[in-house]
Amino acid sequence: MSEDSADNSDIAHSGQDKALARVAGWLKDSRCAVLTGAGISKESGIPTFRDRDKMTGLWEKYDPSELATPGGFTRNPALVWQWYDYRRKLVAAARPNAGHLALVELEKYCRRLSVITQNVDRLHLQAGTEKLLELHGNILTFRCFNRGHQAEDVPMGLSEPPACHHDNCRSLLRPNVVWFGESLPPDILSHAAREAASCEVFLVIGTSGLVQPAASLPFTAARAGAKLVEINPDETPLTEQVDVFLKGTAGKILPALIAQLKTI
């Protein structure tokens, strides 16, 4: 079990302050790397992969790892396109929340801070995070399925994928995300691994830690001697392995960490 854990509801109690102060002390002037998952965007109104109760029938009826695959797209391009169009509308309406903004603030207190995200919503970029590694691409830009031609100005609300306009390519457009069964961009993955292997503190925020190879990054950091800190309202398979588990939402815990850092 982690040496220490802080529960969101007890942040006001000394136990929580103790855990927050401990982590803040590690973060001050540190080389820090952060891995975020869908949980950090939940307070911006974007449901996580596990919150099926918040999604339309599309999400409840189909398994995301079925829809988020090349095979799923080839089998039923219209269905996959509509699912992404639905999510793109949610993302377009979303704004960075206190958690995203606190990570930008954290840059002032760390010697170096790099954010590695599994999210495809670009809310870290919107919040102002500069050193961002998007492991799984983004949902807001598109390329064609067969030859990777980038596409601009793709309207929302289409019921099926448009064809690529690139010199009569005609292949169907797809979002610039990494699907299950597709390799992550090698340069981005190796950069993320280097950040994990060279940081002193590794924050794991809002991820169930189930998807590889992203889920291996905390272990890369721990093997290199970094302090592992998890921020999540629920326990995950990682919780047992971290140095400190800060139980709570990103929108509460991260600003509380900044408040602690201000006192050091």
Supply the residues annotated as catalytic: 136
Provide Rg for the chain, Cα atoms.
19
Site string for ligand BV8, 165-204 (x = CB under 6 A): ------------xxxxxxxx--------------------
- For the bound state, the minimum distance from the C-beta of residue 83 to ligand BV8, rounded and expressed in Å, comes to 8
- For the bound state, the minimum distance from the C-beta of residue 137 to ligand BV8, rounded and expressed in Å, comes to 6
Binding segment toward ligand BV8, per CB under 6 A, in 20-28, 53-61, 123-131, 212-220: 212-220
Contact between 232 and 206 under an 8 Å Cβ cutoff? The reply is yes
Cα–Cα dist 250/231, whole Å: 7
Segment 100-119, which members bind ligand BV8 (CB under 6 A)?
Answer: 118
CA distances from 262 to 25, 144, 205, 259 (A): 11, 47, 21, 5
Cα–Cα dist 92/90, whole Å: 6
Tokens at residue 230, please? 């998890």
Contact between 252 and 15 under an 8 Å Cβ cutoff? The reply is no
Tokens at residue 98, please? 């206190």
CA nearest 7: which of 247, 253, 186, 180? 247
Binding segment toward ligand BV8, per CB under 6 A, in 4-12, 26-34, 156-164, 248-256: 248-256
Site string for ligand BV8, 35-54 (x = CB under 6 A): --xxxx-xx----xxx----
Q: Cβ closer to ligand BV8: 159 or 183? A: 183
Please give the size of the binding site for ligand BV8, defined by CB under 6 A. Answer: 37
Q: Exactly one of 10, 28, 54, 65 binds ligand BV8 (CB under 6 A); which one? A: 65
Cα–Cα dist 127/122, whole Å: 9
Task: Summarize as ranges the residues that interact with ligand BV8 (CB under 6 A).
Answer: 37-40, 42-43, 48-50, 65, 68, 118, 120, 136, 177-184, 206-208, 210-214, 232-234, 236, 249-251
